[in-house]
Amino acid sequence: MTATEAYSRPNAAPEDRYYTYAYLDEQTKRMIRRAILKALAIPGYQVPFGSREMPVPYGWGTGGIQLTAAIIGPEDVYKCIDQGADDTTNAVSIRRFFATVADVATTEDTGEATIIQSRHRIPEQPLADGQIMVFQVPQPEPLRGLEPRETETRAMHAYGEYGLQYVSLYENISAYGRIAATAGYPVMIDERYLMSPSPIPKFDNPKMHMNPAILLFGAGREKRIYAVPPFTRVRSLDFEDYPFETQSWDEVCALCGANDSYLDEVVLDDQGQHMFVCSDSHYCADRRAKGHAGPMAGHALAHIETEIAAEEA
């Protein structure tokens, strides 16, 4: 048997297909599933797990890949995004990885996917019952920047001593006059555990509150799994006189005209021209296919985007 056959056997007999299915061996998947169940039972609690070495370096999504490998099945439809986009290198590579090792259908359509793996974003289209979001987490410990001792942060979680986290917000206000933290904004899960939502922008924090989907977080290097079960209260920390706010833009998406999505600024030339576009590529393409147009929709290069969008629609 060649190496390729070992990973991709679309026509193999089912018993062969399910043995060491999706890259990881059965014992590892079992261990990860146990960790996931514990994480779901204690929302926001970081469950240690025996993170395996993966065929990509730490920092490239090993935690998320292991989570996905443990939960994926042949009937799943898999979507992978990086910075909201389906077509960036990492997203394409990881999607191709699972298409190969798990023999699953892949999609860019948020609504169609059963498992969405992500770093940095929660899709704009609201998640639905039955969907699972898998987050790749670099640093699962929200208190780490302030308290370097693991023994101490564990005690702080155990006893619910979260005053320290407010020190970072205090620092923000005294330095910038507002809570300037934008990504990885700390949240309280069900008023019990403090959780880092991975580097998603705080724009996405409200989407986690009472979300019908399962949110799973995996940190490969730090060897932690945590989760937010469906319909769980998620509160972003703030001060009484400085309430939590999400980012907002004066511009709309230059391509699709959306004013309710998370926008990325794209520099166009050396003269300072720039445009704002949706970070969620599927959301933007979907809107354009439905006929929405932003201020730069008629740009010389825009027809390429329109054609792609039309093909996908």
Residue type, 7: Y
Q: Within 175-194, which residues bind other proteins (CB under 8 A)?
A: 175
Catalytic residue selected from 184, 220, 284, 294: 284
Q: Is 308 helix (H, G, I), strand (E, B) or coil?
A: helix
Interface stretch with other proteins, choices 75-83, 92-100, 186-194, 240-248 (CB under 8 A): 240-248
Which of 10, 163, 272, 291 is the binder for other proteins (CB under 8 A)? 163
CB of 241 to other proteins, least distance (A): 5
Structure tokens at 232: 């769980």
Instruction: Report the number of secondary-structure helices (H) and strands (E) in the chain.
Output: 10, 12
| Chain position carrying tokens 């019952």 | 129
Catalytic residue selected from 44, 63, 84, 218: 44
CB of 176 to other proteins, least distance (A): 10
Per rule CB under 8 A, count of chain residues that contact other proteins: 21
CB of 202 to other proteins, least distance (A): 17
Which of 56, 92, 173, 289 is the binder for other proteins (CB under 8 A)? 173
Query: What is the Cα–Cα distance from 175 to 21, expressed in whole angstroms?
Result: 51
Known active-site residue 80: no
Query: What is the Cα–Cα distance from 41 to 272, expressed in whole angstroms?
Result: 50
| Chain position carrying tokens 């979001």 | 133
Calculate the CA dihedral of residues 171, 175, 176, 182 and round it to 10 degrees: -40
Residue number, 177 or 291, with CB nearest to other proteins: 177
Residue 292 sits at φ, ψ, to 5 deg, of -75, 140
Which of 53, 75, 240, 270 is the binder for other proteins (CB under 8 A)? 240
307 burial level (CB within 10 Å; 0-12, 13-18, 19+): exposed
Q: Residue 166, interface with other proteins (CB under 8 A)?
A: yes
Q: In the complex, which residues of this chain contact other proteins (CB under 8 A)?
A: 145-146, 155, 158-159, 161, 163-164, 166-171, 173-175, 239-242
Positions marked catalytic: 44, 253, 256, 278, 284
